[in-house]
Amino acid sequence: MPAAGSPLLLVVDDEPSNVEVLCDLLEALDYRTVGAGSGEAALAAAGERRPDLVLLDVMMPGMDGYEVCRRLRADPRTAGIPVVFVTALSGNDDKVKGIEAGGDDFLTKPFSRPVLVARIRSLLRMKEAQERLAESYRRLKALEELKDDLTRMVVHDLKSPLTGILGSLELVLDGDAGPLAPEQRRLLDDARERGVDVLRMADNLLDLSRLEESSVRLQPRDLDVARLLREVAGEWHVRAEREGVRLAVEGPAGVGVRADEGMLRRVLANLIGNAVRHGGPGVAVRVSAVPAEGGVKVSVADTGRGVPETEHEAIFRKYGRADAGGTSSGLGLTFCKLAVEAHGGRIWVQSRAGEGAIFHFVLPPRPPEPATASASA
């Protein structure tokens, strides 16, 4: 008598004697068995009993084995059950049909008992490994979602006191608390800028989650990209001078695109900010926009330390960072990638270590419909 926890095998054949012989053989090997004499009965037994493996005859009246296998694969409850065709058919065309129907193996009658047993054991081991892998993935996914939820909660809670700190710094810098010595003003200016950097990173993280979940929508409007470049670059002009970075904007007026302005500003601010913060004294940063493919191509080039070619994909991944130069905070470039892709565009980097970097992104004339995301919502 097979043990209660041993694998359950479904034997399907329209000849009762064939079912009986196979079941006796398998039970002697400590497998539990259940028999079915037709395709319809096989589908019902598979849905109810969820066997670990199916031994399936092909030539049956009504629904043949190929159709049974196709229906097993189409049902999420039974899609992962290994199927072995056991049949008198031996032609290559028959085997091809079995593979196309979703079968995992094909045994021709009369079959060798050791071969049958070896293939059953192999498929059961593979099924067990796949189930362990799927369970590990589910647990990892749950942990990842928990981590993201906790991170969003912490970041959201930190934004309120951080905003208060920045407001207090603004009041002091405006002279509301009395005159400041030059060195005091320099230190407070630096503290404010670092605080703004942290606030941007917090916004990036929160918006990343929304973009990943596609839970917000684009709010597109017609934009003059050259004007937008000048405005965003202007916001970094003082910081660039303080860091010893030469910042220039190029591009003809009238380069237009239909896009979410708030999101596009954030993309530009991330790219320009990375170049200014990580470039170092003497680095030149050039921002440009040109018509391309009916839309617009924007480039942010710098003469800094560059990005090794092996890191070109990693820096766009969440928490990714180039080994040489610390190009990304690990969030900004991921936000840029998701934001550009939400518009139906693409973003990439041209760079080698020690030779500077050029970040390009291309936007189509208008975002795809239906629109899916917005950082400004």
Decide if pLDDT at 323 tops 60: no
**pLDDT value for 108:** 82
Structure tokens that stand for 36 in this block: 């079915």
* Mean pLDDT along residues 159-169: 86
* Mean pLDDT along residues 348-359: 90
User: What is the percent of the chain where pLDDT is above 70?
Assistant: 93
**pLDDT value for 1:** 67
Decide if pLDDT at 83 tops 50: yes
146 sits in which H/E element: helix 113-173
CA 16 to chain centre: 50
**Could you read off the pLDDT of 193-212 as tens digits, one per residue?**
888 888 877 777 777 776 77
Sheet containing strand 295-302, strands side by side: 246-250, 284-292, 295-302, 357-363, 346-351
pLDDT band at 357 (very low <50, low <70, confident <90, very high): very high
Contact 66, 94 (CB under 8 A): no
* Mean pLDDT along residues 334-352: 91
Structure tokens that stand for 87 in this block: 């049949």
**Could you read off the pLDDT of 180-191 as tens digits, one per residue?**
888 998 899 889
pLDDT band at 370 (very low <50, low <70, confident <90, very high): low
Closest-CA residue to 11 (of 2, 30, 24): 24
**pLDDT value for 325:** 43
Contact 301, 356 (CB under 8 A): yes
* Residue 129 to residues 48, 80, 122, 123, 140, Cα–Cα distance (Å): 23, 12, 11, 10, 16
How many other β-carbons are positioned within 10 Å of the β-carbon of residue 254?
A: 10
Structure tokens that stand for 133 in this block: 């892998």
The per-residue DSSP string of 267-308 comes to HHHHHHHHHHHHH-TT-EEEEEEEEETTEEEEEEEE-SS---
Decide if pLDDT at 78 tops 90: yes
CA 141 to chain centre: 12
**pLDDT value for 215:** 60
The overall average pLDDT reported for the chain is 85
* Mean pLDDT along residues 334-342: 90
**Could you read off the pLDDT of 225-273 as tens digits, one per residue?**
989 999 999 988 888 888 899 999 987 777 888 999 988 998 999 999 9
pLDDT band at 374 (very low <50, low <70, confident <90, very high): very low
Cβ neighbourhood burial of 181 (10 Å; 0-12, 13-18, 19+): exposed
* Mean pLDDT along residues 288-313: 89
Structure tokens that stand for 60 in this block: 């049956």
Query: What torsion do the CA atoms of 164, 169, 171, 173 make, to the nearest 10 degrees?
Result: -170
Bigger pLDDT: 73 vs 113: 73
How many other β-carbons are positioned within 10 Å of the β-carbon of residue 22?
A: 21
Decide if pLDDT at 137 tops 80: yes
Decide if pLDDT at 155 tops 70: yes
Contact 306, 324 (CB under 8 A): yes
Bigger pLDDT: 235 vs 110: 235
Contact 299, 288 (CB under 8 A): yes
Sign of the torsion angle spanned by Cα atoms 50, 54, 60, 62: positive
Q: Residue 54 carries which DSSP code?
A: E
Task: Give the residue ranges of DSSP H helices in 174-244.
Answer: 182-213, 225-235, 237-243
d(C-alpha 306, C-alpha 279), whole Å? 9
